[in-house]
Amino acid sequence: MATRTGAWAAVAAAAVVAVLSAALSLYGSPLDAVLKRAFSLHNAHSVKGMEDALQLVRNIVPPLTAKKHKGQDGRVGVVGGCREYTGAPYFAAISALKVGADLSHVFCTQEAAPVIKAYSPELIVHPVLDSPDAVHDVGKWLPRLHALVVGPGLGRDDVLLSNVKDILEASKARGIPIVIDADGLWLIAQQPALIQGYQKAVLTPNHVEFSRLSEAVLGDPLDGQDRRGAVLRLSQALGNVTVVQKGERDVISDGKQVLECSQEGSGRRCGGQGDLLSGSLGVLVHWALQAGPERTDGFSPLLVAAFGACTLTRQCSHQAFQKHGRSTTTTDMIAEVGPAFSRLFET
Ligand SMILES: *[C@@H]1O[C@H](CO)[C@@H](O)[C@H](O)[C@H]1NC(C)=O
């Protein structure tokens, strides 16, 4: 019961932030002072807020029981991997497995496939993304997938992007949740209509990707002062698609509420951390949607999933850095997924 009350307090706090941010977008800077006060209030409660939000993540984690069959806890597909980039799709797909997916697929180009297979015997790798039948080849797997992660190591080749566009349309038609990162976001910035209004999508832009999207969707370069307002506005402009702006703190919005993740991470910014986030998010989005809004106490399931993936990624980074310091790489962080997950979510 205490948890429930706490969670509602968090909902209320987030709602206040959301309403004030929306107000600022309507009335401009005169509300700045009010907003700042509300935000510092919000910050004063943020440790408790974080704890409440963590409890919501715990609520969506499916129990491990002997009764389940293979695949029930998640079959995730990663769309990406080309001649230049093979690490990113590997990191995303292996992270999904380590977080708890039962099966992890990679849909990549023909050239990238043997390389990704050689990294790991645990992934199912399909060399189809540059084939003339790419959409059909990926499409026949869609009925078996619970979530798609689009973009890690995708690159910007026109043929690939055109195939990915059709894969996105096919996935939307089936109602499959889609996490979009990296060059998948580049595609969305070119054609925002691709994702407009699809409320089972989560975008995970870094600073540069966020500015590009903002510019494309709102015609506005990023306002650096008001990150919460900027993320809320972008989400709303996209029809309440969930947006996770990665940064010193991660800011997450579903167009209604704004959550912030400030779990301690590390100072390392090596490539690949974003793939850990997008891969984990693929699994958590599935779990959250399966659990339903009762388990997330009124919060949108995707918001809770995003908060969980951000927290987990930061905790992995923190733990890896304690062991490896400056030499920490994404591989070290992925090795921490198990212990970080139990520390955060298994109580
Ligand atoms: C998005 O959420 C806002 C705030 O709740 C709501 O006013 C708006 O109608 C929603 N938009 C869509 C497209 O659902």
Nearest CA to 3 among 296, 310, 343? 296
Nearest CA to 90 among 268, 269, 275? 275
Least confident of 11-20, 73-82, 139-148, 175-184: 11-20
Does 269 show up as a binding residue in the annotation? Answer: yes
Does 120 show up as a binding residue in the annotation? Answer: no
What's the Rg (C-alpha) of the chain? 19
With beta carbons less than 8 A apart as the criterion, state whether 181 and 149 touch: yes
pLDDT at 172 over 80: yes
- The atom of ligand 1 lying closest to the CA of 197 is 13
pLDDT digits (tens, 9 = 90+) for 234-284: 999 999 999 999 999 999 999 999 999 999 999 888 889 999 999 999 999
pLDDT at 22 over 80: no
3-state secondary structure of 91: helix
Q: Cα of 255 to ligand 1 centre, how many Å?
A: 7
In Å, the largest CA–CA distance within the chain is 59
Confidence of residue 98 (pLDDT cuts 50, 70, 90): very high
- Please report which helix (H) or strand (E) contains residue 332, including its range: helix 330-334
pLDDT at 326 over 90: yes
Closest-CA residue, ligand 1 atom 7, reads: 256
Out of 16, 20, 240, give the residue to mutate to test ligand 1, the one with the largest number of ligand atoms within 8 Å of its CB: 240
Does 172 show up as a binding residue in the annotation? Answer: no
Amino acid type, 253 = S
CB count within 10 Å of CB 133 equals 11
Distance separating alpha carbons of residues 149 and 119, to the nearest angstrom: 19
The DSSP symbol for 293 reads T
Residue 2: phi, psi to the nearest 5? -60, -40
